[in-house]
Each structure stands twice: as C-alpha cells, then as structure tokens.
Structure 1
C-alpha cells in the first residue's frame, strides 16, 4: 500500500517572510520527503518550494493603498484559498503578512488544516482584538520578539516561543567596514521610494566626502531608483546585507532591515515618511511611540527615529553626524543580540510542524 505524501503550503507576502519561509522549508525538506508549495519568492523557490505567485505582486502598503487595491486583494485571497483547497495540505504555514494571512488562516483552520503563524502580528501595537483570531484560527503561533510570548499566552493562544529565525541567517556573516560608506535603505515598496528617495538624494548632496550606496530592494527595478541614479548614486541589488555590513552607518526606512543593521554592528538612523492620510490613521490606532525593531525589543531608544514631520533633510543630517561621532549604539548591540535568544529557530519551528502535522513520520529521527 502506497503511503500518502505529506504536503505543506507556505504563504510569505514580503522579502523577509520569503527568507524565513526558505529557511523553514529547507529544514523540513532535509528531514522529510514532503511536497511544499506556496506563495513567496526566490528564497523559497531556491530550496525546492513550488511557487505559484510571487510576493512582489501582493504587497500594498498604507491604509489608502489598501483601500485603492481592495479588488486585487480580494482576488488574491480567493485565488490563494482555491490553491490550498485543491492542494489539500497537511499544514498551512503563514509567515508575517497578517492582513492577508489571517484571512486565509480563518478558512484554513475551519476546513480542518493544521495552521501555523510564523512572526506574530503586532497586537501589542494595534488591533489587540486580533488575539481572539490567533487563539481560534491557529494550531500554534511562533512569536519572534521576546516579550510577545507572555502576551499571547495570557490571551489563550498556543504560543511557541522558539526564537527569531533572522538569527539563523547571520551565523557566518562577517564584513570589514569601509570608513566612508553610508548605506541607504529607502524601503521596498514603490510608495516608500517615492517618499524617501528625494530626502536621501538631498542628504547625499550635503555630504560630498561620504560614499552613499543604496540597497535595491528585492522585486524592484533599477528604473524605480532613477531619481538617485541620475544624481550619481550607486544602487546595488542582491547585496543588502553586504552593503549594511560594510557601511559605518545607515539610514533605514523601518522594517526588518532596522534589526539587520544592528545585528551587523552598523550604526543607524531610522527614517520614515508616509502620506498624510496614512499617518493620521496610524496615529489614531497605533498604541506605541517607537517603530524600529531595535528600540521595540530593547524597550529603549537606542536608535534615533525620525518619523513623518521630523523626517527632514536637516534632521537627517544632524542625526547622521551624531551617530558618526558616537559609539553608543555599538555598545547596545551585544545586549540586543542576547535578548533575541539562540540561533536555530528555523529548525525548531520546522520540527514542531513536522511533529504536530506530519504524524506518520518516524518521530524518533527528529532532533
């Protein structure tokens, strides 16, 4: 009698989620013969995941952009769910991307599929009511930030705090600093580039003695950075961590890259600007005063943040000079790194999914 082949469906809607999905899929495939399909990117595809839709087609940022693209979002939700139904997986693994993934998870769990969430939605910042859905719609949630586990457990969620998968990608990275190089990360979405590139270009013009390098985001084209290239700025793709690691300082537009910069030992300024409508709505609903992951994790302002009205060329210039003249951030990084726990989160998450969803496997062979 032929045994049923185990199947897993992974959904990652952003570049960082694609990296984590690739790591988890690699660990699962190293221990099983499971078939893995999903929505994601090149990292997941490179380890053997059959990708039917790439995340570059999915991400809409900001309240206004989401409203404008509701039709496309609904169409993608319908398409994704249809693929899951036809595939009939043993497990559905959702990675970050909560606006989309939590809707899929609701249907997935109700249909009887084992459903998991890697990277917890930021219920401590806004939409705290989501904790009810996390309790109802997931077999387990794998929070990445150290303080999230207690919040989830208090809400009755099966929280499995197994560490941050980002650490697994830094294990062997070592770079030599280039004394005059400054990394610029203006974001990955086109809306972010439109807001941040003009500021970064103007800033670069004020520091002729420094070498500014822009890290091109996955899914973007060189033409998206035409404002910068026409002004003589270097834009390099596929080298984000190398650019961050070799730079003495960086200016980063929020997101996972703020944590990456700190883990690479690079001083940074967090700079973020969005449309007036998006900012007004965010101010009304968000319960926190910090946006950078290093600051949120440490509970202190170890990295300067310039948000919305404070995000001006003048302020960026002042803060860049300040961090170049100080080593305070560097002394905080070791403490931050320790708070994130041990490497190996991807393997631990993969093993949990295997043990709890691929039940016919030989459990004794798992570490």
Structure 2
C-alpha cells in the first residue's frame, strides 16, 4: 500500500523553539504509513531532525519594544518572506512554535488566504500553534485571534488549557516538550554514573545580543563574591565568542553548545528568564532569576503586563520558588545575596520535584506529532 505524502512547514524563532521543532520533526518522521516532507524556519536541531531549514532563527531574534521598532522593516520583510514561502510550499500543515508576535501575523494572513479560496492557488492548510501566547499576562484579546486563525493550539503550561477552552479555542494539552528533551538525554546517558554537582556556578545571561550587552557586566560583578566556585558562561546558540568579550577580559570561560551539560554539573546558576529557568528547575539546579532591560522597555511592559512572576517555575507553581531580581533589583549585591540563599536552600529542591510531577511523564512531542499528522491525513 502506497504511503500518503504530507508536507509540513515548521516555524521556530528562537533556540527553545528550535529544540521543540526538532523533537516534533523527529517524532513525525517516525509515524508509519506516511511520507512526510518537512521544511521551515529554525536552527540546527530542526535541521538535524530532517527539516529543510531555509532561514535561521537568529535572523528573527528581536526582543523588547524598542528593538522591534528599530527593526520594523526587517521584521516586515521576514513576515512577507515567511508567508510567501509557505504559500509556495503549499503544506498540509503549518506548525508555529512560540514567537507569537511574528507567528500570529503570519497565521492571520494564511487564514485569510485559505478563506479566500483562490482558484489560482487554492490553499488547504491546517494551522497549529505550539506554545500558547501569554494571554494570561497581557493581550488577553488575542484569544479571539487564536480561535479564528488556528485549527489547534498546544499549550505547554498546565493552567493554560482551561483559559483557551473558555475562549472557544481548540486547545489540546499534550504536555511540555522540554521534558521530552531532558528525558531523551537521560535515556542516552543511561548506565553512565551520575556525577556529583561541582562547585560550579553557571551564568546564562540570555540568548540575544541586546540581553547580554545589558546584563553580563552585572553578573560578572556579582560572582566576584564566589572565589571558591568555578564560573562558566553558557554561550547562546547563534551567538559568537566576540559577543562575550567582557567574560574573556574577566578570565572566564564561555562554552557553546553545552548549556544543559553545564546545568547538570552546576551547583547553582544565575539566569535571565525564559525557558532556561524551567530547564534548570527540571535538572534540579538551584538558581536565581536576574533580568533587566532598558528603562523604556520596562516602563511599557509594566504598564501592559499583569502578572505576579516572570519565571516559569514560579508561574507553574503559582508561588515564588525561585527569587526574581528584576530591573533595579538586578544588581551585583542582590544577586550575590540571593545566590548564597539559594545554595543553602533545601526547599528549592522540593519545589523542583513538584514542578516535575506537575508537567507529567513526557511524551508531549510524540502526541503533538501524531495529532497533527492525524488531522491532515
């Protein structure tokens, strides 16, 4: 019996999205009875999993209101290019991963194209969003857009599913792909003796140049109070050694492509925010969240965002498990103080165990891939 041919386009705009996209692709390619052609925008993880990557996510990495305004022309060109590539590819499905400011605009244009039923280029594509926009924090009106433009949304945080469903969105809560990534690596290391935590502090000053320029010098001042620890900086995917010149001047090592390995070895970490905080929690690494942006970006965000926490571990638990030092509090003295508290904390490890239990037993990527393929077969 001939296999059904399917075409799927995947859009990931940052390192974590590239990981999830790679896991999705890997699981999709293992589904029997279908012959899948994968194309998309992403990075090395997706490419290694069999996706023909036509644009690297580093070209999409604009963070903060000011950076977005400064790069509006580039962003507009990227939007047009992405839409054009998808229409020309004519996929059975598009899987958008995170990056809501970009992806939701492309999805809206695609939905309008599908509805137009253009005889010259009829598009019969189903649209999926993996990682829900933070409608619970700001822009709650986007739930209407999700309902209108997407065939299905896959939230990754436990509390998001009910919010989406109450707004009429076809939400399918499959779990968090990050857990799959960690479990996959654990499986690969099965039989290898688990190493004890070293007297090592890992610094994760962000994944974008503007983050590193804003915060790395603060981290470097803070860790001077820990002469008995080795300090290593996790180099972000898509960046280069030249982006970390301050670290080199301070005599610190920057390691690329080894973020998880560093976290596994580390006794503690200082992390900006984002997915890395959840990764640290799942790896049971005591850490402090320390983040700052420009005064204008912060003022705009504070006016628009209604949320008690920014760290994923705290959001999942609904309480503060990891200290968050934001803007003015993100200074060397407070980072040093809170890092010492974290190192001596026993409660933090219990909180991390609770997060692990809350996210389930893995398998999210497989379930999502199977759902998408089933819907378009």
Tell me the equivalent position of 2:9.
9
**Equivalent residue for 2:278, pick from 259, 267, 275:** 259
CA distance in 2, matches of 1:317, 1:206: 7
CA contact (8 A) 2:131 2:155 kept: yes
| TM alignment of 1:110-259, pairs within 5 A | 110=112, 111=114, 112-171=124-183, 172-173=185-186, 176-259=195-278
Tell me the equivalent position of 1:56.
58
**Equivalent residue for 1:342, pick from 361, 368, 374:** 361
Tell me the equivalent position of 2:24.
24
Q: What is the number of residues matched between the two proteins?
A: 358
> Normalized against structure 1, the TM-score is what?
0.95
1:305-353 alpha-carbon deviations (Å, 9 max, x no partner) = 0000111101001001111122110111111111112210000000000
CA contact (8 A) 1:248 1:267 kept: yes
CA contact (8 A) 2:200 2:267 kept: yes
CA contact (8 A) 1:215 1:235 kept: yes
CA distance in 2, matches of 1:207, 1:303: 20
Runs of 4+ residues deviating >2 angstroms: 2-5, 172-179
CA distance in 2, matches of 1:253, 1:262: 14
Gaps of 5+ in 2: 115-123
Tell me the equivalent position of 2:88.
86
CA contact (8 A) 2:5 2:35 kept: yes
CA contact (8 A) 1:177 1:247 kept: no
**Equivalent residue for 1:100, pick from 99, 102, 121:** 102
Correspondence 1:327 to 2:339: no
Report the RMSD for the aligned CA atoms in angstroms: 1.4
> Normalized against structure 2, the TM-score is what?
0.93
Task: Measure how far apart 1:149 and its partner are.
Answer: 0.3
Tell me the equivalent position of 1:365.
none
CA distance in 2, matches of 1:249, 1:350: 35
CA distance in 1, matches of 2:206, 2:332: 17
